Chain A
């Protein structure tokens, strides 16, 4: 069974801090994604990657960056956290032939 693991379930950070959200998948999937989920707004795509060292902007990339140094790991970086980045962050992966498989999410609070 596919396992997508997000390193933290809950995080509390201060405004201006640099924040790293880590995601690891164990199925050798090429494609990995970062979404954020906010009430009433659904799931919005931040960044995605279809190969190591490759990245593509999603619909709301502002204030974020990503890193994909290894195939199994996809990191989301908040360069300078702001309160409007308080959200549930969801990582997902797929080999392109099966539905997206999500991790359990990281609930980030920026104070």
Chain B
């Protein structure tokens, strides 16, 4: 069963506006969350992460929000740019301190930013 869920397979946003990508999880043991971006014919690249001890992490145009009680996180991109068009994967880890590094991924959301 999918432990990390991205229920929107696609999102279309106009350039300059905010993009909000959502992610839900079911495993209460998850304590570290990441977002990856993937362009066609390339591997996913790390974008931003958040620990369960925080509820917000910001890096430039990208902000991730975590609501532990709702088991929900979201990625905000402001302002959106055409180069942000990609598939975004939400991922979670059970033990940030582990040397294992195993991640559980959602199915991805295709973001399209149009001019």
Whether A103 pairs with B43 at a CB distance below 8 angstroms is: yes
In this complex, which of B9, B43, B49, B107 has the most chain A Cβ atoms within 10 angstroms of its Cβ?
A: B43
Q: Please report whether the interface of chain B is mostly helix, strand, loop or mixed according to DSSP.
A: loop
A84 → chain B closest CB, angstroms: 18
Number of A interface residues at 8 Å Cβ cutoff, please give it. 28
B17 → chain A closest CB, angstroms: 26
In this complex, which of A9, A50, A96 has the most chain B Cβ atoms within 10 angstroms of its Cβ?
A: A96
Question: B25 — which chain A residues lie within 8 A by C-beta?
Answer: none
Distance between Cα atoms of A42 and B106 in the complex (Å): 6
Is A31 in the interface zone, CB < 8 Å from B? yes
Question: B103 — which chain A residues lie within 8 A by C-beta?
Answer: 100
Whether A94 pairs with B101 at a CB distance below 8 angstroms is: yes
Question: A30 — which chain B residues lie within 8 A by C-beta?
Answer: 99
Distance between Cα atoms of A88 and B106 in the complex (Å): 16
A37 → chain B closest CB, angstroms: 8
In the complex, per-residue mask of B71-87: 1 if CB is within 8 Å of any chain A CB, else 0 = 00000000000000000
Whether B43 pairs with A102 at a CB distance below 8 angstroms is: yes
User: How big is the B interface, by class?
Assistant: 20 to 34
Whether B101 pairs with A42 at a CB distance below 8 angstroms is: no
4 more A-B residue pairs beyond the given contacts A42-B107, A102-B45, A104-B42, with a C-beta to C-beta distance below 8 A: A33-B101, A95-B101, A104-B43, A107-B41
Q: List 30 A-B contacts (CB under 8 A).
A: A4-B43, A30-B99, A31-B99, A31-B101, A33-B101, A33-B102, A35-B105, A40-B107, A42-B105, A42-B108, A43-B89, A43-B108, A48-B100, A48-B102, A90-B43, A92-B43, A94-B101, A95-B99, A99-B34, A99-B49, A100-B46, A100-B101, A101-B46, A102-B36, A102-B45, A104-B41, A104-B43, A105-B42, A105-B43, A107-B41
Interface residues in chain A, defined as those with a beta carbon under 8 Å from any beta carbon in chain B: 4, 9, 30-31, 33, 35, 40-45, 48, 50, 90, 92, 94-97, 99-105, 107
Q: What are the 4 closest A-B residue pairs judged by CB atoms, nearest first?
A: A102-B43, A96-B99, A42-B107, A94-B101
Interface residues in chain B, defined as those with a beta carbon under 8 Å from any beta carbon in chain A: 6, 9, 34, 36, 41-46, 49, 89, 91, 98-103, 105-108
